[in-house]
Amino acid sequence: MSEHGYVEDDFARDTDYIEDRITADGRDGWPVEADRYRLVVSRACPWANRAIIVRRLLGLEDVLGMGVCGPTHDERSWTFDLDLDGRDPVLGIERLQDAFLARFPDYPKGITVPAIVDVPTGKVVTNDFPQMTLDLSLEWTAHHRDGAPSLYPEALREEIDEVNAWVYTDVNNGVYRCGFAGRQASYERAYDRLFGALDRLEERLTDRRYLVGDTITEADVRLFTTLVRFDPVYHGHFKANRNKLVEMPALWGYARDLFQTRGFGDTVDFEHIKRHYYVVHSDINPTRIVPKGPDLAGWLTPHGREALGGRPFGDGTPPPAPRKDERVPSEHRAA
């Protein structure tokens, strides 16, 4: 088995995460409290990017601090190499691994982002990324900003869950099954499933602005973080090359619509994204050369999706501009 989880044939993602939850009633022993926890992310990672976006949209920045790891890591752990002296300024650790080992001294699994760490004890609470964003929506409501959108409305949950299930299997994880396939046949199966799903999404989004309902939901957040990485990384690095995102009119317009919505594009660091995949995945890219392209200017071009109707935030409002200390450097953004 490789460090990325493929065994001769098909890529198999390890989905055995720490399932503790931070809840309003504290039933798992972790009650929602302002300033108690720290969300640890890397802007390179699509799963972490989801948590960054949801935290922004809900306005949780002042109650749930965020530590940002650098775009690359070694076999041990993500590191805080962007911070002064290489340590997270709140947790005081050099590696995210330290928080996992503080709770589980013999922790045998991968050290993944996003993770939430209990600041007083320095122990990891959870790295269960699918549940994490749902709990930010449903359990942290006492701390949501005025005008926070409803990203997981009760009336749409069944449809959101259904869409999320096949998007995760065939798109979010489908690109990895292409990239880390161990044999030609498994790669081609993954490739066919991926583009079959993208064609399904292209058709779905041709006459509707968002995936479920007429506002942004959790489903849009989960798809966006894969789409924004598609042309810079997945098309070439993962051999998902039937066509580029920019060649799929509805998906490209949809992705630009979200990118230009406050809380989405302002969380995206294209430099970190490219450095992570092309440097860390040395078994796929042994030279570790990071491509100079693609041209990112298209992300800011008009998308015309307003004509489909819909209201991005429903009865809510856009989030404020990013905090100064959490802004993506201008040279790492679309321009």
Catalytic positions, written as ranges: 45, 176
The label of the residue with tokens 């995206």 reads: 268
The label of the residue with tokens 């045998």 reads: 108
- Fill in the amino acid letter for 174: G
The residues pairing with 38 across neighbouring beta strands, listed in sequence order, are 65, 117
- Closest among 129, 151, 157, 165 to 261, alpha carbons compared: 151
The residues pairing with 67 across neighbouring beta strands, listed in sequence order, are 40
Q: What is the b/e burial string over 150-189, where b = at least 16 CB atoms within 10 angstroms of the residue's CB? A: bbbbeebeeebeebbeebbebbbbbbbbbbbbeeeebbeb
Q: What does residue 293 show for φ and ψ, rounded to 5 degrees?
A: -90, -170
Supply 107's token pair: 């922790």
Max CA pair span of the chain: 55
28: CB partners within 8 A, 6+ apart? 20, 21, 22
Alpha-carbon gap, residue 137 to 190, rounded angstroms: 32
**CA angle 293-298-301, nearest 5°?**
165
Supply 29's token pair: 């022993």
